[in-house]
Amino acid sequence: MFCGCESLEEINFSNFHADNLLYMDNMFRGCSNLKELNLSSFNTKIVSSMRYLFFRCISLKELNLANFNTGSIYNVHHIFYNCSSLKKLNLSNFINCSAGNLSYMFYNCSSLSELNLTNFVSNYAKNMEYMFSGCSSLKELNLSSFNTENVVKMNYMFSNCSSLIKLNISNFNTNNVVDMSFMFNECSSLKDLNISNFNTNNVKNMK
């Protein structure tokens, strides 16, 4: 809908009705001058796909997704890709019931210092490659609610999270993971990491 609107700085959705919305793929992709976005009026109850939704919204500093209902979502990969000015993101209401691909979800969100994934459900996730890669301002990340029993790819998952001090992945199930290459690459501030629960019997790549 607004894909490639590079000069757009503001959008007023005050009377916007989206009750029958099914697809939001690429909706704001490349809106590189958009600084804030309030989508609290959006009804996303039956939306099934949000991939590339805010892809390369590099000036976006504030994003209100408080009323987002993600119960029907099956596709969210690259959703916040390169939102490099975004500082806070509250996804506590993001109930990802059937999303299989979470790759590149927060890729290069380099200013992101607060990320709330408290209630995030990832029961069907198979791909988490590059999920948090380049989140260089993130100091703490609690992924204790993550269900990773079906995940196959975790390569570059936390790559270049250079400010990350605390990382809770204590509940990670890695029984089916095949690729862990560069998973913690350049996590230069990480002092303590508990991966005693990791099962690496099926892992083929740890470079």
Q: Which among 21, 2, 108 is positioned nearest to 58, based on CA atoms?
A: 108
Per-residue pLDDT tens digits for 75-110: 999 999 999 999 999 888 877 668 899 999 999 999
What is the CB neighbour count within 10 angstroms for residue 57? 25
Best CA proximity match to 105, nearest among 51, 146, 141, 144: 51
What is the per-residue pLDDT across 161-195, written as a single tens digit (0 to 9) for each? 999 999 999 899 999 999 999 999 999 999 999 99
Biggest alpha carbon–alpha carbon distance for the chain: 54
Residue 8: C-alpha distances to residues 51, 193, 205 (Å): 21, 43, 43
Which domains does the chain possess? 19-207 (3.80.10)
Distance of CA 67 to CAs 15, 71, 94, Å?
15, 12, 9
Q: What pTM did the predictor assign?
A: 0.94
The residue behind tokens 């988490």 is: 128
